[in-house]
C-alpha cells in the first residue's frame, strides 16, 4: 500500500509527531511505500535543525532525518506555515533577506500542492494531530 503522512503538531507539544514517526517506521518495516511526509501547521517545527533536546530525551528531528536518509523519504515542510514560524531554507532565506537557513537534513520546503499530490498519489493519507 502506498501511504502519505501529514504531521500537524510540533515535536515536543503533543504525542502526534512521535506517533507519526513510529507509524511511518512501522509501515516501512511492514513493506508499505511512503510517498511523502508533509509537515503542516506547528508540525513544521519537526524540521528545524536548531532543535537541541537534553541528552537523555528523544531527538524527534534527528529521528525524522535519519529515517529519511535510510529510506529516501520525501519530508516536505509547508512553506507558508514555515515562514510564519521562522523556518527558512537557503532559497527562502535569500528571497526574504535572512542571514541563514535552519532546515534539518532530509527536509525540504514546498507548497500545499505537495499535500494535494500526496493525497492523489497515495492509497491513504494518514493525519497526525489537530
Active site residues: 78
Q: What is the pLDDT of residue 69?
A: 98
pLDDT digits (tens, 9 = 90+) for 81-118: 999 999 999 998 999 898 889 999 999 999 999 999 99
Average pLDDT along the chain: 95
Spans of all domains in the chain: 2-128
Strand order in the sheet with 75-78: 107-110, 75-78, 33-39, 2-7, 124-128
The pTM score is: 0.95
State percent of the chain over pLDDT 90: 84
Residue 28 phi, psi dihedral angles, 5° rounding: -65, -45
CATH, range 2-128: 3.40.1260.10
Of residues 44, 34, 35, the one with CA closest to residue 8: 44
* pLDDT tens for each residue of 76-89: 999 999 999 999 99
Amino acid at each position: 500500500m502506498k501511504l502519505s503522512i501529514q504531521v500537524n503538531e510540533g515535536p515536543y507539544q503533543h504525542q502526534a509527531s512521535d506517533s507519526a514517526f513510529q507509524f511511518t517506521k512501522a509501515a516501512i518495516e511492514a513493506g508499505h511505500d511512503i510517498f511523502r511526509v508533509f509537515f503542516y501547521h506547528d508540525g513544521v517545527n519537526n524540521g528545524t535543525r536548531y532543535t537541541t533536546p537534553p541528552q537523555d530525551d528523544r531527538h524527534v528531528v534527528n529521528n525524522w532525518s535519519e529515517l529519511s536518509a535510510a529510506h529516501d523519504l520525501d519530508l516536505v515542510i509547508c512553506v507558508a506555515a514555515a515562514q510564519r514560524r521562522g523556518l527558512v531554507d537557503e532559497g527562502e532565506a535569500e528571497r526574504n533577506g535572512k542571514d541563514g537557513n535552519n532546515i534539518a537534513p532530509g527536509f525540504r520546503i514546498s507548497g500545499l500542492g505537495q499535500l494535494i499530490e500526496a493525497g492523489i498519489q497515495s492509497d491513504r493519507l494518514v493525519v497526525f494531530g489537530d
